[in-house]
Structure 1
Amino acid sequence: MKKFDIRNIKLKTISVDQLDDRMLLINLYATQAITLVIGFVWLLFQHRNPFFLFSAANSLDYLYWGVGLAAAAIAADLLAARFIPDEANDDGGVNERIFGNRPIWHIVLLSLIVAICEETLFRGAVQYHIGPYWTSIIFATIHVRYLRHWIPTGLVFGISYALGWIYIKTGTLWAPITAHFLIDLIMGLVIRFRREE
C-alpha cells in the first residue's frame, strides 16, 4: 500500500479567465454556502440562535438606513470609477465575468444570496465578537480581488464599516442585508448594461 505524503500536494493558482462560466458559478455558490455555514456555526458557538437574526424588524426604519447606505456607496463607487484610472480600480475582471452576461433574474438572485450569506457571517457573527472595525478589515481582506489596489480596498472597508454601523444603529440584520443587496444588484446591473452598450 502506497503511503500518502502531504508534501506531494501541489496547489495551482488559476486566474478567473481560466474558469468557464459553470465553474465560476459553482465556485461562487459554494463559497457563499460555506460562508453561511461558518456564520451559523459561529453563532451557535456564541450561544445565539441564528434564526433570531432574521426575525422581523419592529419598524421599516431599517429600509431607510439600508437604501440610504446603498445610495451613498453606489455614488462613491461611481465617482471612483469616473475619476480614478481603470488600472487602479481593477478587480481582475471578476465582477465583469460574474455579472456581464447574466440574465437580470440571476443578478437579483446572486445579489440576494451574497447579501444574506455574507451579512450573516460578518455582521451577525463576527462583528458581535470583535466589533465593526476588525470585522471590516477581515471583510476587506476576503475580497482578495481588490487587494492589489488601495482605492477599491478602502471602498470595501468603508462600506463594510458602514454596514456594521447601520446594524448597530437599527438593531436588525435586515438593514445591512438590504444595503448589501442593493449595492450588489445595482452595480451588477450597471456592469451588465454597460457591457451591452
Structure 2
Amino acid sequence: MKKIKFKFKNIEFRKVSIDELDDRMLLINLYLTQALTLIIGLIWVFFQQQNLTSLLSISVSWVDVLLWGSGLALLAVAADLILSRFVPDELADDGGINEKIFANRPIWHIAVICLIVGFCEELLFRGAIQHAFGPYWTSIIFAVIHVRYLKHWIPTGLVFCISYALGWIYIKTGTIWASIFAHFLFDFIMGLMIKYRRES
C-alpha cells in the first residue's frame, strides 16, 4: 500500500480579489464564516458560564423588541443614505462585496442571509464579547472584523457607531433579540436597496 505524504509547505495562501470569487464560492465563504462566528460565540458564552437559555430569552414584549430594533435599523439606514449622498463613492467603498452578495439574489435569500448574519454576529459580539469587554471595546473589535471597510475611516466610523448602538439597545431592553432584529433589518433593507438599485 502506497503512503501519501502531505506537505504543509505546499499550501499556498494568497489574497483573492472579489472578482475572482464566483457566486458559489462567495456563498460558501459567507456561510462558513457565519458558522465559525456562531461556534466561537457559543464556546465563549459557555466559558463565561452564562446561561444560554437566559441569554436568548425575552424579558420584554415582542412589541418592544420590534420597536427598538426597527427604530435603530431605520436610523442606521438614514445615516448611511445621508453619508452616501455627501461622501464620494471612493471614500465609502467596501470593495464591491455587498454588491456581489445582494445584487442578483432573490428576496427570500437576502432575508435568510441577513437573519443568519444578524443572529450569529449578535450572539458573538453582544452575547459574548460585550459581556466581557463592554460596548465600547466590542464596537472597536466589530469595526476591525469588518475589514473591508478599514481602508476608509467614514464607513469604519459608521460601523463602530452602529455596533455601539446595537450594544446600547441590548443593555436598554435587556434582550439580545432587539439587537438581532435591528442587525437583521438594517442588513435586509441595505440588501434590498443594492438589489433594486442594480435592477433599475
Q: Which residue among 36, 39, 42 is the counterpart of 1:40?
A: 42
- Identify which range, 6-15 or 59-68, moves more after superposition: 6-15
Q: Deviations over 1:64-105 (max 9, x none)?
A: 211111111000001111111100010000000000000000
TM-score by length of 1: 0.95
Q: Which residue among 111, 118, 124 is the counterpart of 1:108?
A: 111
Q: 2:29: which partner in 1?
A: 27
Q: 1:18: which partner in 2?
A: 20
Q: How far is the alpha carbon of 1:49 from its aligned partner?
A: 2.4
Counterparts of 1:77 and 1:162 in 2: how far apart (Å)?
Answer: 14
Q: 2:175: which partner in 1?
A: 172
Which runs of no fewer than 5 residues in structure 1 stay unpaired?
none
Counterparts of 1:188 and 1:132 in 2: how far apart (Å)?
Answer: 26
Q: Which residue among 83, 90, 93 is the counterpart of 2:93?
A: 90
Q: How far is the alpha carbon of 1:56 from its aligned partner?
A: 2.9
The number of residue pairs the alignment matches comes to 197
Q: How far is the alpha carbon of 1:10 from its aligned partner?
A: 3.0
Matched, 1:119 2:122: yes
* Aligned Cα root-mean-square deviation (Å): 1.5
Which runs of no fewer than 5 residues in structure 2 stay unpaired?
none
Q: Which residue among 157, 160, 182 is the counterpart of 1:157?
A: 160
Q: Deviations over 1:124-161 (max 9, x none)?
A: 00000000000000000010110010000000000000
Q: Which amino acid aligns with 2:112?
A: L
Q: Which residue among 32, 35, 51 is the counterpart of 2:53?
A: 51
Counterparts of 1:184 and 1:151 in 2: how far apart (Å)?
Answer: 18
Q: 2:135: which partner in 1?
A: 132
Q: 1:70: which partner in 2?
A: 73
SS in 1 for 2:42: helix
SS in 2 for 1:12: coil
Q: How far is the alpha carbon of 1:52 from its aligned partner?
A: 2.5
Counterparts of 1:27 and 1:120 in 2: how far apart (Å)?
Answer: 19
- Any conservation in 2 of the 1:57–1:174 contact (CA below 8 Å)? no
